[in-house]
Amino acid sequence: MSPPLSPIYLAGPTASGKSAVAMALARRLGRAAIVNADAFQLYQGLSRLSAAPEEADRSAVPHHLYGILAPTETCDAATYASMAREVIDRLLADGVVPLIVGGSGLYLKALTHGLAPTPPGDAVLREQLDSLPLESLVAWLTALDPVGAAATNLKNRRYVTRNLEITLLSGQPASRLKQSFAVADPEIRAFVLTRSRDDLYRRIDRRAAEMLRSGAVEEVAALNGTPVSATAEKAIGFREIRDMIAGRLSPEDCLASIAQATRRYAKRQETWFRREKAFQSVCLSPSETPNSAADRLMDWLRPVAG
């Protein structure tokens, strides 16, 4: 019997094999679509840098929320959750199982747990803020919420004003409030792929080398001179490749720096998902295939179907 029509979440650290397992699982589920939950795969022109799914896979199984943002656009957990929820609701209404795939823990949690509501706009305060120059608003936001300011497009007056408004009305930084969640223990079907440290690091090293060979350098070069958003700029490899293009890093040092940064990021992801009790851990061996991993996931899913 097929699993009930509700979302399935597939998370894990970078290079753990999520995309390949998701493809195999989607085929087993039948009417399924893959929804992106990777912060950097949201961006146009960064498919190689972010290891986004190949076009052949995207043609074989419907994929959503890949390459939808310009590199100049900022994004946060609330924005992502709103976009993803709209896609998920539409898929469910059409009888399609949404398979949410990615490793951005905060984005996933905003979707699975729901974000605590932010205060509604205040007309009097908004009028006061609208009377100030953008430079003053930026300086005020930076003083009250430096973390939030660093993640905000400070040239966009609407974003700056709203984040400052949230901070002033709530009495706490908007960036902190946007990480407060509405549901403590959601009932969801969710898995996190894990691997041994040695296996994962070998996969990361291979991915870093393949990334440089397959077009990531050209992607970064194409954005030279473009004011990339603070969100997109955090994509691992972006700054390292820019340094290589500028002659500040050798190709060998660039590769080593990307691999090291990716390993550090993977460790942070592993730490995050260990705390997420709603996600069932699935340990993959070095010899495991995407098909065998998908079969194991289906074994867990079938009892839920009754």
**What percent of the chain lies above the pLDDT cut of 70?**
94
Buried b (16+ CB within 10 A) or exposed e, 152-169: bbbeebebbbbbbbbbbb
155 is a domain residue = yes
150 confidence band (pLDDT: 50, 70, 90): confident
291 membership: H or E segment, kind and range: helix 290-305
Residues 103, 214 share a domain? yes
306 confidence band (pLDDT: 50, 70, 90): very low
1 is a domain residue = no
Domain limit, last residue, from 177, 195, 220: 177
d(CA 294, CA 157) in angstroms, rounded, equals 46
98 Cβ contact partners less than 8 Å away, ≥ 6 residues apart: 7, 8, 32, 33, 35, 87, 88, 91, 92
82 confidence band (pLDDT: 50, 70, 90): very high
Residues 218, 289 share a domain? yes
Pairing of strands 63-64, 8-11: unpaired
Domain count, the chain: 2
Domain span including residue 133? 123-177
Q: Tell me which DSSP letter residue 177 carries.
A: H
Amino acid at 105: G
Q: pLDDT at residue 138 above 70?
A: yes
2 is a domain residue = no
Q: Tell me which DSSP letter residue 102 carries.
A: -
Length of the chain: 306
Residues 131, 101 share a domain? no
Q: Are 213 and 258 in contact (CB under 8 A)?
A: no
**Token pair 């500040």 in the structure block, residue:** 248
Residues 198, 155 share a domain? no
Please state the pTM of the whole predicted model: 0.81
CA torsion sign for 268, 50, 63, 70 is: positive
Residues 45, 85 share a domain? yes
Residues 204, 64 share a domain? yes
- Two structure tokens written together for 220: 């970064």
For the chain, the average pLDDT equals: 91
Residues 62, 171 share a domain? no
- Two structure tokens written together for 74: 């900022």
Residue of higher predicted confidence among 121 and 180: 121
Residues 212, 127 share a domain? no
